[in-house]
Structure 1
Amino acid sequence: MFAVFDENDVLVYANRLYREAFFLTEEEYPYWGDMMRRNFEARRGTVIGEADFDLWLKGTLSRRGKVPFRAFETDVHDGSWLWMTETVDEDGWMVCIASDITKLLVKDSVLRQERDIALRRSLTDDLTGIANRRFVMERLNDMIARDGVAANGRPGCFAILDLDNFKQVNDRFGHFSGDRLLIDFAREISLQVRRTDCFGRLGGEEFGLVLPATTGAEAIVIINRMLAQISSLRPFPDHPEFFYSCSAGVASVIPGEAQSELYARADEALYRAKSEGKNRVCVAEIAA
């Protein structure tokens, strides 16, 4: 089985075997998430071990396509097992290849499935369903290992996003509403993240965004668009007057820099964004 998805995860090519496995007609070129949702609702195609499809999709998209190559096993509703590989180029296009390995997994398929579920959960934030700190920091290390420079010569960036006045939200509406706000924020930002980026929760009301092959100027444009979207939301129907905002600090990768140094510079830029009035993005200065 063979398929190609573009940087927006829309199918651009699939051979006959792939279309048969995922119940696609010759005329269909869907968004990957829509294809998976349709098969989930029809109880066919890939087995999804979650009752809440939207929660599963959010967590999966926060990790899908974030590494240049990955291989994994997946089971199908017809009882077969597939060995899947995903190869992602620097522009975010993905090549998917699948092989039937059912005969190889007759004895230990259940154990393998439980192992894969446990691994996914270890990389997912329990509250928001997006990538957790561990996964974000692994992707940040990957970018630093490449000196933050892709083949096109553009450096990468790391951003820390922090909800403004979050304690006041908890004090006014309660911790349950605070959790709802974190979930709302994670969902909205996830919808704007590019295939090659990685977005996840670092802890509390703080989130991390890894932006490979992105200049500081480009990062500002991307994050300002995110902040504008957040400020336009009214997350609590019972309180239509309420809105919230977010501040961000961005640091461009310096070749040879340690992860802790990059993180500290992004954190310092976040502190400046907060002190200068919040609801804004600041870029870390590079010492001469």
Structure 2
Amino acid sequence: MSNISERIKKRLKSLSESFWSQLPKRLDEMQNILEEIRKERKNTEKAKRLHLLAHKLYGAGATFGNADIAETSRKMEVLLEVVLEKQEELTEDRIVELDTFIKELNYLYINKKSEISMEQREKQIERTVNGLPTEGEKNVLLLGVGDRAHKEDLIDQLGYFGFSIKPMQNATELQEYLQNTKERKQPVIVETSFLDSSSGVMSELSAIKKKFWGMVSFIFISKHEDFDTRLRAVRAGGDAFFLYPIDITRLIDRIESLTDKKDNHPFHILIVDDDPEQVSYYALVLQQAGMITSVASDPKQVVKVLIEAKPELILMDMYMPGCKGPELASIIRQQEAFVSIPIVFLSVEKDTDKQLTAIQCGGDDFLTKPIKPEHLIASITNRAERTRSMRYLMERDSLTALLNHSNLKEQLAREVMRSRRTQGKICFAMIDIDRFKSVNDTYGHITGDRVIKGLSRLLKERLRSTDIIGRYGGEEFGVILLNTDAENAERIMNEIRKNFSHIKQQADNGNFFVTFSCGIAAFPDFSDPGELSEAADRALYEAKETGRNRVVIARKT
């Protein structure tokens, strides 16, 4: 049940309506300023104004639950910060990039506005205030779980992770729901005993699976794991099978894999070509496929753009004045930071020897003009997906898929620097699982790893998509809460702490429960990343020393 008063809810609703109604006006102003900058490149005041608008939109997007708008605005903000700090002129390449960002924001406004109802938006606002995810409802359907205790336990345990359970009475009700839902992929938990409730149930479920192929996933739960039970589940269209008692973390992992929740952020492609017409054409093709493009028409500017934009792939012409494509590829490959970025040549060159030479100089692929748009998109998408996967693995902890220690520290330093410039607020929370050594000693390291994965899953499900989570090491985690003061950070982490303490942990010799302690430090009370981290660590130590299973805020002495 919500802890927000009706007065505050009405105010938040009003603010949300104002945000969405004013967004077109904001975007028009940004576009107009950019056009003025295009005419007068050295107008620092206009650049500062555009930077301020981007910063405000970033904060508003995060506040009102639109992570895509927040992220795109943030990219604009970062690009303009670099220009203003270095007192540089906005080049045409950067103006084109800013223009692309504004177009993407308009696209996001049009689509989000049409997709999100006022009722859904109210729920998103409420969840933002409560520190919960804002990506919308996560529904799981429940079919045929007759035991009341088992049903209530499933509802409670999945609820701690932010899932909403919708019980279905029979296959007919399930089919009607699937016909009317807008869910792209819907998980359904079915108890195998339901298959015995009537002679036609198995064929009904199988027919539903065929009718809604790719949209519905059946996860069977059972008190029995004999061959015949598993076979009936498969024949009914089962995608997964779990035995009582249910390991909730494994169940949620399976739900996530079946619902195919991937990183849907658009790929960022850098196009290097001196022909403006060709650049515009290929940029348009890639943008139509949902990608973000940056442009460098001068080879000398490529390294700078790589540093600022961090693209996932470079699409490069073979011949440019002053520097050939293979030469530029060699320059890029000589710099360690850019070794892993794929370089795809796009040229009219049909000489196989020259194509191979280009690849030997650092290229990953060679595409020949003219190329069909669908072929270009497919090639770029495949390469970019591979790069994103590699980058993800390099930055992430292997057990939890959270940011690793070093990348979390880099993110903290980056956010502190940004908040110092914008006079914003952030909090850093350090979490440590209580008596974790005892868990490993009593139940084994495999079970201990499951506990760590369970907490990482809970943090991902219950925190906002704009917050940054990492594994600090061992049983310790770090969370960067953006645009959040200490009081709200304490409330958010306390809610997660309470939920975690109620989650049943599974082991061979029975269920058990685990708690965690948390220390929070706030910026600007602690003004640099080192201070912030040390203060959070001291607060965590205090939480441990004063009884564990609690959240403590670091106080400035």
Q: Which TM class, normalised by the smaller chain length?
A: 0.5 to 0.7
Preserved contact between residue 447 and residue 507 of structure 2 (Cα < 8 Å)? no
Relative to structure 1, the CA distance from residue 247 to residue 148 in structure 2 (aligned partners, 3 Å threshold; closer, same or farther) is: farther
Deviation at 1:140, TM superposition (A): 1.4
Preserved contact between residue 526 and residue 532 of structure 2 (Cα < 8 Å)? no
Rg larger for = 2
In structure 2, runs of 5+ residues without a counterpart are 1-60, 70-107, 121-134, 140-181, 187-212, 216-252, 270-287, 294-371
Which residue number corresponds to residue 452 of structure 2? 182
Q: Name the amino acid aligned to 1:224.
A: N
Which residue number corresponds to residue 505 of structure 2? 235
Q: Does 1:120 align with 2:392?
A: yes
In structure 1, runs of 5+ residues without a counterpart are 44-50, 74-79, 86-99
SS at match of 2:520: strand
Which residue number corresponds to residue 467 of structure 2? 197
Tell me the distance in 2 between the aligned counterparts of 1:58 and 1:264: 38
SS at match of 1:146: helix
Q: How many residues align?
A: 243
List aligned pairs for 1:58-97, cutoff 5 A.
72=268, 81-84=289-292
Deviation at 1:113, TM superposition (A): 3.0
List aligned pairs for 1:136-285, cutoff 5 A.
136-147=408-419, 155-236=425-506, 242-254=512-524, 257-285=527-555
Relative to structure 1, the CA distance from residue 101 to residue 121 in structure 2 (aligned partners, 3 Å threshold; closer, same or farther) is: farther
Q: Name the amino acid aligned to 1:42.
A: G
Q: Per-residue CA shift, 1:133-173, capped at 9, x if unaligned?
A: 344333312220123586xx652110100101101100001
Higher relative contact order (CA 8 A, sep 6+): 1
Deviation at 1:33, TM superposition (A): 7.5
Deviation at 1:123, TM superposition (A): 2.5
Preserved contact between residue 83 and residue 101 of structure 1 (Cα < 8 Å)? no
Instruction: Return the structure number with greater helix share.
Output: 2
Preserved contact between residue 543 and residue 551 of structure 2 (Cα < 8 Å)? yes
- Which range moves more in the overlay, 239-248 or 270-279? 239-248
Which residue number corresponds to residue 256 of structure 2? 54
Deviation at 1:84, TM superposition (A): 4.5
Tell me the distance in 2 between the aligned counterparts of 1:268 and 1:57: 40
Preserved contact between residue 431 and residue 519 of structure 2 (Cα < 8 Å)? yes
Deviation at 1:102, TM superposition (A): 4.4
Which residue number corresponds to residue 129 of structure 1? 401
Relative to structure 1, the CA distance from residue 251 to residue 58 in structure 2 (aligned partners, 3 Å threshold; closer, same or farther) is: farther
Identical pairs, percent: 28
Preserved contact between residue 149 and residue 155 of structure 1 (Cα < 8 Å)? no
Deviation at 1:195, TM superposition (A): 2.7
TM-score w.r.t. length of structure 1: 0.67
